[in-house]
Amino acid sequence: MSAPSNDIRSRGDAFAPHLETRITEETAHATNPYLAEEVRFHGYDHIELMAKLPFTDVLFLLLRGELPTPEQADVFRRLSVALINPGIRHPAGQAAIVAGVGKTNIEQLLPIALTIYGGKENSAGAVADIMQAFQAQIESSTQAHEPSTTDILMGFGTLYGDIDPYAAKLLNEFSPDIGHFTAWAHQQQTMLAPNGRGILRAGLCAAVLLDLGFTPRQGIGLMQLFAAPGLLAHGIEFAGKPLNHMLFEPDSQYDLELDQ
């Protein structure tokens, strides 16, 4: 299927006379049409949302077009906290630290870290593919098949050569009753563990977001958004430290062969 932009052949083709969105409704100011007097998100008054709802509920509304049920709100909130900080072992966390201690402009710390976190290795860039793979697994009814040592399931595997124990702990905080994707992830975790593989954080994110009704495209941005506070915190923390707080391997760690 071709992208809509592929249908444009010349500057003479007709374009939209104005932007249309189902998300944001802005009532123009009486004397300046470039300013908004009132703002609504999917029909809900913005000021009222500020007064009554937490951030995660409004985020859910923006992407799903409806407010979450109390059960969905709780799961979505807990997922956002579960993924709030990739930590300093993750390359994105290290990127934030190096950018911070390297005295990068503060406004660039988060974009730099999120660029790394947009990668495919247990990061946000993998979530869309994992969500699509999970959907295919469920639709083909392969969840009843016990994986062999040669099976490769996206969203599961090893991290630095071993099962990620903390990702497994996070999965256990989400009941299989959330939905069939989360239940399927629990089932796969149990069957894969004897083979030395387990859930990865990107896989956890994919399963829970699917049960909440989010699309693969939305999953990428949500995992990045969830991780942003932790990445920003580490970048700002190291922005106030001297350069020698950056990791630097001593010469003894290198085996140098000099040309004679």
pLDDT recorded at residue 242: 73
For the chain, give the longest Cα–Cα distance. Answer: 81
pLDDT recorded at residue 137: 86
pLDDT band at 166 (very low <50, low <70, confident <90, very high): very high
Whether residue 250 is contained in a domain is answered as no
Q: How far, in Å, are 93, 105, 159, 172 from residue 82 at the CA level?
A: 16, 28, 18, 11
Whether residue 159 is contained in a domain is answered as yes
Whether residue 167 is contained in a domain is answered as yes
The alpha helices in the chain, defined as continuous H runs, are: 46-52, 55-64, 70-82, 91-101, 106-117, 127-139, 165-172, 180-192, 201-211, 216-239
Dump pLDDT digits (tens) for 110-162: 999 999 999 998 899 999 999 999 999 887 755 445 554 445 689 999 999 99
In this predicted structure, the answer to whether residue 107 has a pLDDT above a threshold of 70 is: yes
| pLDDT greater at residue 39 or residue 1 | 39
Whether residue 163 is contained in a domain is answered as yes
pLDDT recorded at residue 150: 43
pLDDT recorded at residue 190: 94
| Domain housing 94 | 82-243
Stated pTM of the model:
0.86
Whether residue 23 is contained in a domain is answered as no
pLDDT band at 3 (very low <50, low <70, confident <90, very high): low
In this predicted structure, the answer to whether residue 186 has a pLDDT above a threshold of 60 is: yes
Whether residue 74 is contained in a domain is answered as no
pLDDT recorded at residue 200: 96
pLDDT band at 91 (very low <50, low <70, confident <90, very high): very high
Report phi then psi at 156, rounded to 5.
-125, 160
Read off the DSSP letter of residue 44: E
Q: How many domains does the chain have?
A: 1
